[in-house]
Amino acid sequence: MPELPELAAAFTACLHEAGIAVSPDRARGFVRAVTLLDPSTTRELRDCALATLVSAREQIEPFDAVFRAVFGGAADHGAHRGQAGDPARPLPGTVPGRVPGIRRPAADGPGRDAGAPPREAAVPVAASPLDRLASRDFADLSAAELARLSELMRAMVLRTPARPSRRHRTAHHGTRVDVRRTLSDSRRTGGQPLRLRRFVTRTRPRDLVVLCDISGSMEPYARAMLQLLFCAARATHAEVFTFATRLTRLTPVLRRSGPHDALARAGRTAPDWSGGTRIGECLAEFNERFGRRGMAHGAVVVIVSDGWDTGEPADLATHMARLFRVAHRVVWVNPRSASPRYRPLVAGMAAALPYCDAVVSAHNLTALDEFTAALSAPRRRR
């Protein structure tokens, strides 16, 4: 049985030979649709393929012919187009049955009644290797396996809550009167403001600031988080810092590089990669150099660390309280919290916990959903 990417490649190659141009983006969309929807019958598989691979009405008929030849589609696809009794057309001779691991179906014999109700058949699709990687801990993945997850990370959206902007836009049902435009329009009516112009305040996403621990215990999770930030958060212009024994700003490196080059350059830019951890001192440096300049004011601040700190817990609590007062939300990502037996007994984590709005694990690709939800959650503080 072929794997899903191999099966999709063979299927799209048959479509190409039948005269249906399928771009690589559409092929990836088909793989993603099958991965997310997990079809169990040929009818459901056809719906996934039709929605992602066909772009014109005249392509449906040759598409059905290729689909029946490749997957042995027993479902009555003519019912989908409103054509009763649509006969199965033979596959053109230019498309041989050479799909690896898939047997080309034989023509309908006397045992198959043309008027019989459609029967459902199992879909010959194996689970994607990406599905198996999605549930594995980032610490157990090799560099090559982590790089394979970049395609799924690109589909993720890191969305922060909206904040009011200084700009506004005209709106018929706005909550405030635009005095300037109202008086300007009144010159056309002899100085009488016959119509009130209104506006609403524009909104924009809150800034995202990430402080990522790159000490020895956090190295595999740091690589995964930096890859996620490059793939999913590039459009949000997130500010990214790494820390171990010192604070390093990686934003310029991540914006100028590809996802794989960015990780290599990040390792060269941060000389303390895989070193010790001084969370309190690095957080104090961030507050002094960047936080006071407004980078953290009203922003969503994410701290990625397991809480192991060689400094004084009281210092960490002091600088966390300072950050907590100016930030909109503070989200702490601790991969160790994924264990049901986890307790925040580490001195650094215990000192920082009172000043965190949310603590999530984000230890694998599946757990990143909780992380993205924590970013977009509204502010709830006493």
Q: Is residue 59 predicted with pLDDT exceeding 80? A: yes
Q: What pLDDT digit, counting tens, does each position of 180-204 carry? A: 888 888 888 878 787 788 887 888 8
Residue 307 CB neighbour total at 10 angstroms = 27
Quote the mean pLDDT of the chain. 77
**CA 291 to chain CA centroid, nearest Å:** 28
307 and 372 co-located in one domain: yes
Q: Is residue 3 predicted with pLDDT exceeding 70? A: no
Residue 137 lies in a domain: no
Q: Which residue has the higher pLDDT, 97 or 319?
A: 319
46 and 188 co-located in one domain: no
Return the pLDDT at 236: 64
Residue numbers of the domain that contains 171: 167-204
Strands 329-333 and 300-304: parallel
Q: Residue 338's closest CA among 310, 366, 357?
A: 366
Q: Which two tokens stand for residue 176?
A: 């405030």
Return the pLDDT at 37: 79
Number of compact structural domains in the chain: 3
The strand pairing partners of 302, in sequence order, are 210, 331
321 and 334 co-located in one domain: yes
Q: Which of 83-97, 135-149, 187-201 has the lowest mean pLDDT?
A: 83-97
Q: What contacts 24+ positions apart, CB below 8 Å, involve 256-263?
A: 257/230, 259/147, 259/150, 259/227, 259/230, 259/231, 260/147, 262/226, 262/227, 262/230, 263/223, 263/226, 263/227
Task: Say which residues have a Cβ less than 8 Å from residue 94's Cβ, sequence separation at least 6.
Answer: 17, 18
274 and 188 co-located in one domain: no
**CA–CA separation, 379 and 161 (whole Å):** 9
Q: Is residue 224 predicted with pLDDT exceeding 80? A: yes
Return the pLDDT at 84: 39
216 and 327 co-located in one domain: yes
- % of residues, the chain, pLDDT over 70: 76
Q: Is residue 266 predicted with pLDDT exceeding 60? A: yes
Q: Which of 84, 101, 118 is the last residue of a domain?
A: 101
Q: Is residue 214 predicted with pLDDT exceeding 80? A: yes
Residue 128 lies in a domain: no
Q: What pLDDT digit, counting tens, does each position of 241-262 carry? A: 988 888 888 888 777 766 566 5
49 and 177 co-located in one domain: no
244 and 181 co-located in one domain: no
Q: Which of 101, 122, 140 is the last residue of a domain?
A: 101
**CA–CA separation, 161 and 146 (whole Å):** 29
Q: Is residue 144 predicted with pLDDT exceeding 50? A: yes
Q: What pLDDT digit, counting tens, does each position of 327-351 carry? A: 999 999 999 898 888 888 888 899 9
Q: What pLDDT digit, counting tens, does each position of 283-326 carry? A: 999 999 998 778 999 999 999 999 888 888 999 999 999 999 99
Residue 127 lies in a domain: no
Q: Which of 145, 177, 204 is the last residue of a domain?
A: 204
- In degrees rounded to 5, what are phi and psi of residue 115? -95, 5
Q: Which residue has the higher pLDDT, 65 or 166?
A: 65
Residue 65 lies in a domain: yes
The predicted model gives 60-82 an average pLDDT of 66
CB-based contact 337:307 (threshold 8 Å): no
**Stated pTM of the model:** 0.61
Q: Which of 67-71, 103-107, 222-226, 240-244 has the lowest mean pLDDT?
A: 103-107
Residue 17 lies in a domain: yes
183 and 61 co-located in one domain: no
Q: Which two tokens stand for residue 251?
A: 């934003």
226 and 257 co-located in one domain: yes
Q: Is residue 132 predicted with pLDDT exceeding 80? A: no
Residue 112 lies in a domain: no
The strand pairing partners of 17, in sequence order, are none
DSSP class of 364: S
Return the pLDDT at 360: 93
DSSP class of 378: P
* CATH (domain of 300): 3.40.50.410
Return the pLDDT at 260: 61
**CA–CA separation, 240 and 208 (whole Å):** 9
Residue 250 lies in a domain: yes
85 and 177 co-located in one domain: no
CB-based contact 33:58 (threshold 8 Å): no
Return the pLDDT at 106: 41
Residue with tokens 């934003």: 251
Return the pLDDT at 234: 58
Task: Say which residues have a Cβ less than 8 Å from residue 372's Cβ, sequence separation at least 6.
Answer: 156, 157, 158, 159
Confidence of residue 267 (pLDDT cuts 50, 70, 90): low
Residue 113 lies in a domain: no
* Orientation of helix 42-53 relative to helix 60-71, angle to 10°: 140
Q: Is residue 210 predicted with pLDDT exceeding 60? A: yes
Return the pLDDT at 109: 42
253 and 337 co-located in one domain: yes
The predicted model gives 141-157 an average pLDDT of 82
248 and 332 co-located in one domain: yes
